[in-house]
Amino acid sequence: MPRIISANLNGIRSAHKKGFFEWLATQDADYICVQELKAQEADMTEDFLRPHDYHGHFHYAEKKGYSGTGIYSRTAPDKHRIGFGCVEFDAEGRYTRCDFGDLTVISLYAPSGSSSPERQLAKFRFMEVFLPHLQELQAEGREIVICGDWNIAHKEIDLKNWKGNLKNSGFLPEERAWMTRIFDELGLVDVHRGLDPRPEQYTWWSNRGQAYAKNVGWRIDYHVATPGIAKCARTVSVYKDVKFSDHAPLIIDYER
């Protein structure tokens, strides 16, 4: 039963100090998608490149201490790719893809628009170019799981204070409609929500106030999958026992 984990690390060095890789050794995971490395190749020690004999592939941002994605896998992929063909966002290290047989695993870190109006416009540009890429992926006819921080809470159930965030990045009508298109028009599947329809299944909490302690969070980390592999999903959990980051790892077991 393949186990796939998605984890925004908010800095691989920071997560390492907080015990992420020790925890990873206990998880028996087949694929681990990480986001927000905040590191360049020169910063990556052997512990980061091949922890516990996992194979690692990474997409580093050109800007130091920013963004970055990666995939760890038990077995070496048949092939891997960094970037999805858009110069602007490939420079930000937002996309790592690995193929294993008929399965494609992708680690995605979608832009956040919360820091400035300029970044929100960049997020809209990302949405515009990434939707056609998803269609191209589907046309390959493979089973695909895209894990990562999409920086959008899709529905009211996906964040605690939805009424207060209707005009804020991450819960804007345009962003939510875009996610709806991915699920309803393209037919991709929100695997977590298919397994667990309960509220308060959050994966990110602001560092302000007591958001984590009070569970005032957002569900912005997803496994978005093609229907075939989505049907194989059996269990889902959000790991909160230890706080490695402002995000919590999202763990889904698939039966193939």
Q: Does the annotation flag 246 for ligand binding?
A: yes
Among the listed residues 109, 202, 222, 254, the single catalytic one is 109
CA distance 20 to 242: 9
Tokens 């959050």, residue located = 202
Q: Are 143 and 228 in contact (CB under 8 A)?
A: yes
CA 92 to chain centre: 15
CA distance 256 to 128: 33
Among the listed residues 30, 149, 190, 253, the single catalytic one is 149
Q: Does the annotation flag 36 for ligand binding?
A: yes
Among the listed residues 154, 192, 223, 247, the single catalytic one is 247
How does DSSP classify residue 110?
A: P
CA nearest 94: which of 145, 56, 148? 148
CA angle 46, 49, 55 (to 5 degrees): 125
Q: Does the annotation flag 151 for ligand binding?
A: yes
CA distance 111 to 152: 10
Q: Does the annotation flag 223 for ligand binding?
A: no
49, containing H or E segment = helix 46-49
Is residue 247 part of the annotated active site? The answer reads: yes
CA distance 102 to 20: 29
Is residue 149 part of the annotated active site? The answer reads: yes
Backbone CA torsion sign across 162, 67, 184, 125: positive
Which residues are catalytic, by number? 109, 149, 247
Tell me the binding residues for Mg(2+). Answer: 8, 36, 149, 151, 246-247
Tell me the binding residues. Answer: 8, 36, 149, 151, 246-247
